[in-house]
């Protein structure tokens, strides 16, 4: 029986986009011995991974080749993150409507099993109205749409479709370049 390390060493993975999440995924995969191709629209963000053993092809299609598992995983993880952001936005709106400060909400979930550090950080951005982009709403929406297409008809989670519809409206209203924490807008959860 092969170990997880042996399986990883024989896996080829393409990581398309080396922003915060893609770069971390590439480092973990390289550290685990996978063969990794990285591509980014701005090549300068992909180049540092070459020193760690990644291949840096000229185009996304060259990077993907037959190694699409990294891209598919990124879509799954970004869908997960979309769920977390939407939950934080809805919880912040509910807390506000019930007269509970979002600072009390954040303190209640921080460090416990109810929220990841990412979710708590986004709750802070939602609460403060800081939508400076760490991960823009339009790029998160693109990944939700790609995940729905990749999953096929009738397979994509209903919740992901609902989030995508709401976020599409926010992007259409001019919030696309803002952080995904802009999901809290129009729910009454920010000042």
pLDDT at res. 67: 52
pLDDT digits 0-9 by tens, 54-101? 999 887 767 766 456 667 788 888 899 999 999 999 999 999 999 999
Q: pTM score, two decimals?
A: 0.65
Neighbouring residues of 45: CB distance < 8 A, sequence distance ≥ 6? 18, 19, 23
**41 CB-near residues (< 8 Å, 6+ apart):** 17
CATH class entry, domain 4-67: alpha beta
Q: What class, spelled out in words, does domain 72-184 have in CATH?
A: mainly alpha
Domain(s) of CATH 3.40.50.720: residues in the chain: 4-67
Kindly report, residue by residue over 117-173, the tens digit of the pLDDT. Answer: 999 999 999 989 899 888 899 989 988 887 887 777 766 678 888 999 999 999 999
Residues of the chain with CATH 1.10.1040.10: 72-184
Sole residue written with tokens 């009390």: 104
């Amino acid at each position: 029986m092969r170990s997880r390390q042996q399986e990883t060493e024989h896996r080829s993975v393409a990581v398309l986009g080396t922003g915060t999440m893609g770069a971390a995924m590439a480092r973990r995969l390289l550290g685990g011995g996978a063969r990794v191709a990285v591509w980014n629209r701005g090549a300068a963000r992909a180049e540092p991974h070459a020193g760690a053993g990644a291949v840096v092809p000229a185009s996304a299609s060259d990077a993907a080749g037959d190694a699409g598992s990294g891209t598919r995983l990124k879509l799954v993880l970004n869908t997960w993150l979309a769920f977390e952001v939407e939950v934080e936005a809805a919880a912040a709106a509910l807390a506000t409507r019930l007269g509970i400060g979002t600072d009390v909400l954040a303190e209640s979930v921080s460090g416990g099993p109810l929220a990841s550090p990412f979710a708590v950080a986004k709750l802070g951005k939602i609460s403060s109205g800081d939508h400076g982009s760490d991960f823009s709403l339009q790029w998160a929406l693109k990944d939700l749409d790609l995940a729905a297409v990749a999953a096929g008809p009738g397979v994509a989670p209903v919740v992901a479709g609902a989030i995508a519809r709401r976020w599409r409206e926010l992007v259409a209203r001019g919030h696309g370049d803002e952080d995904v924490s802009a999901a809290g807008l129009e729910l009454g959860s920010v000042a």
